[in-house]
Amino acid sequence: METSASCLCGSVKFDIELSNSEPEMAACHCSMCRKWLGGPMLAIDNGMLKNITGESFITRYSSSEWAQRGFCNKCGTSLFYYLVPAEQYHFPVGLLDSELQFKFSHQIFIDEKPDYYFFGNETQNMTGAEVFAHFENEGNS
């Protein structure tokens, strides 16, 4: 399934190909995502970036050795989190131009979530250490 996405000013447009017919969404509570987006990142899990329009408006900021955060350099909209070793894109769900339904399946870096908010959805929750362990195991397989 493919769905279209765009930034606030419309300079950047692209399609996201979703791997499954029942797409899933996750929340990241880490302090970097919260600073980047102004709140927790609600992300589409592992979509493919396709058919980019306005590529010159996309700036990639290397936020760590293993990740890039893409944004529109005209309006500042956060466009994607790119996990370099896994070559995986994660997109903020708010970029979508349609009202697709998602299953809110998990929350990561739950140990970095501040106490002043919580989500009531039933999800699988992982701490930062559990997330890193998970990716190390994936790398070995």
- Counting contacts by CB under 5 A, is residue 9 touching Zn ion? yes
Question: Residues 101 to 120: which contact Zn ion by CB under 5 A?
Answer: none
Contact 85, 139 (CB under 8 A): yes
How near is the Cβ of 34 to Zn ion at its closest, in Å?
8
Contact 37, 70 (CB under 8 A): no
User: Contacting Zn ion (CB under 5 A), which of 33, 43, 93, 126?
Assistant: 33
Structure tokens at 35: 């600073």
How near is the Cβ of 54 to Zn ion at its closest, in Å?
8
- Counting contacts by CB under 5 A, is residue 95 touching Zn ion? no
Structure tokens at 73: 């350099």
Which residues are CB-contacts of 30 (< 8 A; sequence separation ≥ 6)? Answer: 108, 109, 112, 128
Q: What does the binding site for Zn ion look like in residue numbers (CB under 5 A)?
A: 7, 9, 11, 28, 30, 33, 72, 74-75
